[in-house]
């Protein structure tokens, strides 16, 4: 027998050894808790697995990492106080990399490979579309994508529950707030400034629709490239049109670039209303001249608003979970935290016999869930999968370096025309602010 063959025989032995070694790393625990378990859905008597699919390394990591951190903070907070119905919540993370393929692999893995009872995340628009069918077939509840596109809301999906205010709600409040609070007239001239991506088009179309419905003039949508190094041309165009108000779409990086360019071209006194993606400190700090007329819509209060009752508890939980200011001071963190509270609430309501089906059932029963000012009250029903129905404008306070809300969430409740659910904006009028 030659040495070659002996060597070849070693291979399986090594493989088995390796397998045995990993087996040793497995921990086994059995103590107290519930008697119900369903390993095929990630539920054991003492713990429950919940999936978090989010972008950890890709283009949107800067917003999704704080979002997921918020969810995990809510989980740890629940675990500290004894878990939910005797079970500790165990987050199972997966990096979606802002790639559809990676996201789909994550979701499929969580459906039957490393099964979880429910998932959160699914924040990238195209991934959401790819996920809808998978989610329906697997009947697995998705609680809280960080963005809410029409594709996951209408038609009513049955298993996807949104805790983020959708674009139409932001458009409802933006236009009403501009017309009745900032300008005080119906015959203004507006321009839109939006990225050359799908969400930019759809948001600014919703704005244009409302501006025109009230009889004002929507001059044009000025587009920019999401990766553009500056927005000089767009700013120059805005200064030529000289509108009464600017409606803006984009994310934090684009916001900084836009404000710097607007300042460069002297567009410093025109009220500018933006979407939630633009509620980041660095934007107004980038160009204070523009920033003092800059408003961003949002449905969450961030950790710097010390007079919001829910904030103290959130910060305490964030610190206990080991997150720094850098992470928990962002509105994305609050978004995640509220989302985590909703998940915990749903797990509670699902009771002892926790399954995907009972969890999904439980979400639809959540009504007027109070987050102590961190967000509007969260309400779902078996027809309405959008839980957060109100937004309010925020304006940057340079003295205290934080975003101050303009009014309460309730003041803007009536503005919501529920366009995604109703299919039109008949119910919308600019005089909706209390």
Contacts (CB under 8 A) with other proteins, residues 57-76: 57, 59, 61-62, 65-66
CB atoms within 10 A of CB 223: 17
155 binds other proteins (CB under 8 A): no
Six-digit token string for 171: 């458009």
Q: Encoding tokens for residue 43?
A: 């539920």
The full length of the chain comes to: 434
Least distance from other proteins to the Cβ atom of residue 289, Å: 9
Collapsing DSSP states into helix, strand and coil, what is residue 245?
strand
Assess 236 for contact with other proteins (CB under 8 A): yes
The separation between the first and the last C-alpha atoms of the chain, rounded to the nearest angstrom, is 91
- What part of residues 93-152 is at the interface with other proteins (CB under 8 A)? 93-95, 97, 99-101, 104-105, 108-109, 112-114, 125-130, 133-134, 149, 151
Least separation, in Å, of the C-beta of 366 and other proteins? 27
User: Looking only at residues 323 through 382 of this chain, which bind other proteins when binding is defined by CB under 8 A?
Assistant: 326-327, 330
Q: What one-character-per-residue DSSP string does 6-33 give?
A: HHHHHHHHHHHHHHHHHHHT------SS
19 binding other proteins? (CB under 8 A): yes
Q: Shortest CA distance to 169 belongs to which of 378, 379, 421?
A: 421
Which residue among 283, 315, 342, 391 contacts other proteins (CB under 8 A)? Answer: 283
Return the number of the residue (69 or 364) whose C-beta is nearest other proteins.
69
CA angle 407, 409, 411 (to 5 degrees): 65
Shortest distance, CB of residue 231 to other proteins, whole angstroms? 9
> And the tokens for 249?
């779409």
35 lies in the binding site for other proteins (CB under 8 A): no
Q: Between 158 and 187, how does the x/- string for binding to other proteins read (CB under 8 A)? A: ------------------------------
Shortest Å distance, C-beta 247 to other proteins? 17
Look up tokens 């959130």; give the residue: 314
The stretch near other proteins (CB under 8 A) out of 217-225, 293-301, 351-359, 393-401 is 217-225
Q: Does 321 bind other proteins (CB under 8 A)?
A: no
Cβ atoms 331, 300 nearer than 8 A: yes
Closest to other proteins by CB, 125 vs 430, is: 125
User: Whose Cβ is closer to other proteins: residue 70's or residue 430's?
Assistant: 70
Angle at 48 between CA 46 and CA 54, to 5 degrees: 150
Q: CB under 8 Å to 181, separation ≥6 — which residues?
A: 406, 433
Q: Is 423 a residue that touches other proteins (CB under 8 A)? A: no
Work out whether 239 is an interface residue with other proteins (CB under 8 A).
yes
């Amino acid at each position: 027998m030659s040495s070659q063959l002996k060597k070849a025989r070693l291979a399986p032995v090594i493989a088995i050894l390796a397998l045995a070694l990993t087996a040793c790393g497995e921990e086994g625990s059995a103590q107290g808790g519930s008697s119900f378990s369903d390993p095929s859905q990630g539920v054991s008597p003492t713990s429950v697995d919940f999936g978090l699919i989010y972008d950890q390394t890709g283009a949107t990591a800067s917003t999704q990492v704080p979002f997921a951190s918020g969810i995990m903070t809510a989980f740890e907070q629940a675990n500290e106080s004894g878990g939910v119905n005797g079970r500790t919540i165990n987050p199972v993370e997966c990096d979606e990399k802002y790639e559809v393929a990676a996201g789909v692999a994550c979701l499929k893995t969580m459906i039957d490979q490393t099964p979880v009872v429910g998932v959160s995340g699914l924040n990238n628009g195209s991934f959401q579309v790819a996920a809808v069918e998978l989610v329906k077939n697997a009947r697995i509840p998705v609680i809280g994508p960080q963005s809410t596109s029409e594709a996951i809301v209408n038609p009513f999906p049955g298993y996807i529950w949104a805790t983020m205010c959708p674009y139409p709600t932001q458009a409802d409040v933006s236009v009403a707030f501009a017309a009745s609070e900032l300008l005080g007239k119906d015959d203004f001239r507006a321009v839109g400034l939006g990225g050359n991506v799908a969400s930019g088009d759809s948001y600014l179309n919703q704005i244009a629709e409302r501006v025109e419905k009230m009889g004002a003039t929507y001059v044009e949508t000025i587009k920019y490239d999401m990766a553009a190094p500056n927005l000089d041309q767009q700013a120059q165009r805005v200064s030529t049109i000289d509108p009464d108000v600017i409606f803006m779409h984009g994310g934090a990086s684009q916001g900084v670039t836009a404000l710097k360019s607007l300042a460069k071209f002297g567009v410093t006194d025109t009220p500018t209303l933006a979407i939630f993606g633009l509620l980041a400190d660095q934007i107004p700090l980038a160009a204070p001249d523009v920033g003092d007329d800059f408003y961003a819509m949002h449905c969450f209060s961030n950790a710097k608003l010390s007079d919001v009752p829910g904030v103290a508890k959130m910060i305490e939980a964030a610190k206990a979970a080991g997150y720094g200011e850098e992470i928990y001071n962002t509105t994305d963190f609050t978004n995640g935290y509220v989302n985590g509270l909703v998940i915990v609430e749903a797990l509670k309501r699902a009771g002892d016999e926790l399954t995907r089906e009972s969890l999904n059932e439980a979400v639809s029963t959540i009504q007027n869930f109070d987050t102590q000012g961190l967000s509007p009250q969260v309400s779902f029903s078996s027809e309405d999968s959008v839980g957060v129905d109100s937004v309010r404008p925020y304006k940057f306070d340079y003295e205290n370096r934080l975003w101050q809300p303009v009014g309460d969430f309730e003041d803007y409740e009536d503005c919501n025309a529920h366009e995604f659910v109703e299919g039109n904006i008949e119910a919308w009028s600019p005089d909706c602010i209390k």
